[in-house]
Amino acid sequence: MGVGQIFILIIFAITLFLVPILLAIRTFLAPFFPKLQEQIRIRGWGYTLWLFGIILILFVLFPYSPGGIQANKNAKTAALMENIQTAILAYQTEYDKPPPGKDNATLIRELMSDNPRSIAFLNIRPTTDMNAKGEALDAWGTPLHISLADPQHPIIQSAGVDKKWNTQDDMGSAKNQP
């Protein structure tokens, strides 16, 4: 469970359980404390808070709806591929040659600072964006295909949601996997 989902559950619990309980306690204690009774004169706060909570939950949960999750994964993968492409071009500018790595893991390691000057051209999270081999992964957990056949136009591809190459949902600058 991600941090965002935990945050949603906390907001949900506070809104649906804690707020009505606190309002009930305050209402019950009002006759014993005259000043508190004056503060409760505004009616409808309980309903307003419930409605606010439901609206908040809908807005927070929207990105986690099935369509929202797919859009987020597409955007995350596209951003990662763009970052890798930018890092490759920055490496070429710095060293006047493409990174020497031929496979995904070696190339990512070179871009993350395992290069002659220890420059970090790429900063990705090893826990979510890389596998144990050090390969960059798309949002669905499939290693990206990175080709430097034309160093000025690196090709970075994702197999997409179905995790199969050469299908309609593949992402990247070219849709064919060598």
Q: How confident is the model over 138-173, as pLDDT tens digits?
A: 999 999 999 998 888 899 999 999 999 999 989 986
Of 79, 74, 67, the C-alpha closest to 160 is 74
| CA–CA dist 121, 134 (Å, integer) | 16
CA–CA distance, 41 with 58 (Å, rounded to integer): 30
Mean pLDDT of the chain: 79
Structural domain boundaries of the chain? 3-64, 66-172
* Mean pLDDT of the region 63-80: 75
pLDDT over 90, % of the chain: 44
Between CA 37 and CA 40 the distance in angstroms is 5
Task: Between 151 and 29, name the one with better pLDDT.
Answer: 151
Rounded Cα–Cα distance for residues 87 and 124 (Å):
11
Worst-scoring range by mean pLDDT, 35-39, 40-44, 53-57? 40-44
DSSP string, 42-66: STTHHHHHHHHHHHHHHHHHGGGSH
Question: Is the pTM here over 0.75, yes or no?
Answer: no
Task: Output DSSP code: residue 141.
Answer: S
Note the CATH architecture for domain 66-172. 2-Layer Sandwich (3.30)
Mean pLDDT of 123-134: 90
From residue 155, give the alpha-carbon distance in Å to each of 1, 27, 35, 61.
33, 65, 70, 35
For 54-69, what is the mean pLDDT? 62
Single-letter code of the amino acid located at 125: R
Spatial distance between the Cα atoms of 107 and 115, rounded to a whole number of angstroms? 10
The pLDDT assigned to 117 comes to 94
